[in-house]
Amino acid sequence: MEQEQIAAAVAVEREALAGLLETLTPAQLETPSLCHGWTVHHVAAHLTFLWSVSTPAFMWRVLRARGSFPRAVDVLTKELVRRPIHEITASMRANAHNTKHPPVGLVAPLTDVIVHGDDIRRPLGIRRVVPHDAVRAALEFVTSGRDRGTFLPRKRLQGLRLVAEDMDWTWGDGAEITGPGQSLLMGAMGRRPALDDLHGAVPVLDARL
């Protein structure tokens, strides 16, 4: 995908997620997401992190977390979740076309909103079929190594071949795992519930999560 197409896809997913979040009950917002220790509300708040926190402020928190990026993200998310959901969705809509991104590129926010969108929807029994071009871009990003290991541990997919059944995309060599592209992405990103949609050498991947 070209950069303009990626930016448009990010906007579509942010708008779709904001629309869903606006319909959820307080109980649904407190449902545990697929992100360990985070509720649906936490994940929604986390998705506003990119434009809500300056780079210096984030790096300060990384230092306070003794260099741990995940710990700093968790601390920031628990600060951002104090905002009511209507503020979070308003921020998401206002920044749907925001193209701020980390050094690894604009495809990183696209991958983030696709994966975290499913982190929210799956526990609620809600499914969204993300456009194939967007899923393919995210799959290519996390399997290419361009994410520098921030999204996908480097050895998680070693010796595996991923084959999407619903789009023209394959990756890797070795024992084959097949399934919908979106579920391959979620499985690669460590979301065990997505493994139920996959076939083949799934136990190998499961053992690495």
Q: Residue 18 is part of a domain; what is its CATH number?
A: 1.20.120
For the chain, list the strands marked E by DSSP: 160-164, 170-172, 175-179, 199-200
Q: Name the band, by pLDDT with cuts 50, 70 and 90, for residue 151.
A: confident
In this structure, are 29 and 113 located in the same domain? Answer: yes
In this structure, are 17 and 71 located in the same domain? Answer: yes
pLDDT score of 58 more than 90: no
List b or e across 132-161, with b for residues whose CB sees 16 or more CB atoms inside 10 angstroms: bebbbbbbebbbeeebeeebbeeebbeebb
What's the mean pLDDT when you consider all of the chain? 95
pLDDT at 81: 97
In this structure, are 158 and 110 located in the same domain? Answer: no
How large is the average pLDDT for residues 129-153?
Answer: 91
In this structure, are 19 and 72 located in the same domain? Answer: yes
**Residue 142 within any structural domain of the chain:** no
In this structure, are 21 and 70 located in the same domain? Answer: yes
Q: What percent of the chain has pLDDT over 90?
A: 85
**Residue 173 within any structural domain of the chain:** yes
Read off the pTM. 0.95
- Among 37-41, 118-122, 151-155, where is mean pLDDT lowest? 151-155
Last residue of a domain, one of 75, 103, 132: 132
CA–CA separation, 35 and 157 (whole Å): 20
CA–CA separation, 84 and 65 (whole Å): 26
Q: Name the band, by pLDDT with cuts 50, 70 and 90, for residue 54.
A: confident
| Count of all residues that appear for the chain in the document | 209
Q: How far apart are the first and last CA of the chain?
A: 29
pLDDT at 15: 99
In this structure, are 54 and 96 located in the same domain? Answer: yes
**Residue 86 within any structural domain of the chain:** yes
DSSP secondary structure code for residue 151 in this structure: S
Q: How far is CA 31 from CA 34, 37, 118, 179, in A?
A: 10, 11, 13, 27
**Residue 138 within any structural domain of the chain:** no
pLDDT score of 27 more than 80: yes
Which is nearest to 172 in space by CA: 184, 187, 157, 182? 157
How large is the average pLDDT for residues 96-103?
Answer: 94
In this structure, are 51 and 118 located in the same domain? Answer: yes
What is the residue range of 181's domain?
153-207
pLDDT at 26: 98
**Residue 146 within any structural domain of the chain:** no
Last residue of a domain, one of 132, 162, 186: 132
Count of structural domains, the chain: 2
